[in-house]
Amino acid sequence: MHHQIRHASRDELDAIIDWAAREGWNPGLDDAAAFWAADSEGYWVAEREDKLAASISLVRYDENYAFLGFYITAPDFRRQGIGSQMWQQALAAAGQRIVGLDGVVAEQENYRRSGFVLAHANIRYGGIIDVVEPPGTDLVEVAPVHMPMLIDYDRVFMPARRDAFLTEWLRQGRTRRSIVLLRDGAIAGYGTLRACRQGYRIGPLFSESETTADLVFRKLAATVKGEEVYLDIPEPNVSARALCERYNMKPVFETARMYRGIAPDLPLARIYGITTFELG
């Protein structure tokens, strides 16, 4: 039986995100617009007998960096070689770019065979959060006026600029809230809280210090007091782990951050929450 591999439509991206939810990855309720803005040609599906059989994403942020995700084959079509064909096609689309991914731990060896090297683990912490919103006027809702500064600040923590992605990701709405901490007109940290299929996730959470990260975290978590909140931290950041433990959050999931090509030198000590396991 033949299958066709092609770019996904915007509606099919919604279906792919539903698949991710079924895999237990807990995507946000309104993630698709930001994912699509990042690279509308970065999503593929395999189709067989008029059914979606598999998916993969290869989001190209710029000429030097891309991130791979949504690598899923529907249960009825597994072990038929469809996924591996999609994998090869996505990597070919990356060209000479460095490619990052967050892989489930069990698949590390498979990724290694394709030239990916482990950089560090990411650990998802979760728990019922009961915090009081911190006082002060330097913690403010992200507004359009902050965007140019925020996009520049975000670049410090990422291998590439994310202008289009962040413009959507940081858009305030019914299911999400973003906070920036400003000191003397400069950004000291920022974060986003979003409603997910289960509870809420905070990410990104980037900060100049543990104190600042704690303030932004509490400002966001207080919005959903008494609800389950998840934070995906880079395992080497001991301050991020201390933050999670301070609020009785427990490890619930782990992935391997791997790169094909030269791994970017990121300031992990200031990364308290990665954006999302699905898209990096």
Nearest to 90 by CA among 77, 101, 103: 101
Single-letter amino acid, residue 273 = G
Per-residue pLDDT of the chain (280 residues; tens, 9 = 90+): 577 889 999 999 999 999 999 988 899 999 999 999 999 999 999 888 878 889 999 999 999 999 999 998 877 777 777 878 889 989 999 999 999 999 888 888 989 999 999 999 999 999 999 999 998 889 999 999 999 999 999 999 999 999 999 999 999 999 999 999 999 989 999 999 999 999 999 999 999 999 999 999 999 999 999 999 999 999 999 999 999 999 999 999 999 999 999 999 999 999 999 987 666 4
| pTM of the complete model | 0.94
Instruction: Compute the CA torsion angle 204, 207, 210, 212 (nearest 10 deg).
Output: -100
> Positive or negative CA dihedral for 180, 237, 260, 14?
negative
Domains of the chain as residue ranges with CATH: 4-118 (3.40.630.30), 124-273 (3.40.630.90)
Q: Could you give the 3-state DSSP secondary structure of residue 129? A: coil
Indicate the pairing of strand 250-260 with strand 116-128: antiparallel
148 and 184 Cβ atoms separated by less than 8 Å: no
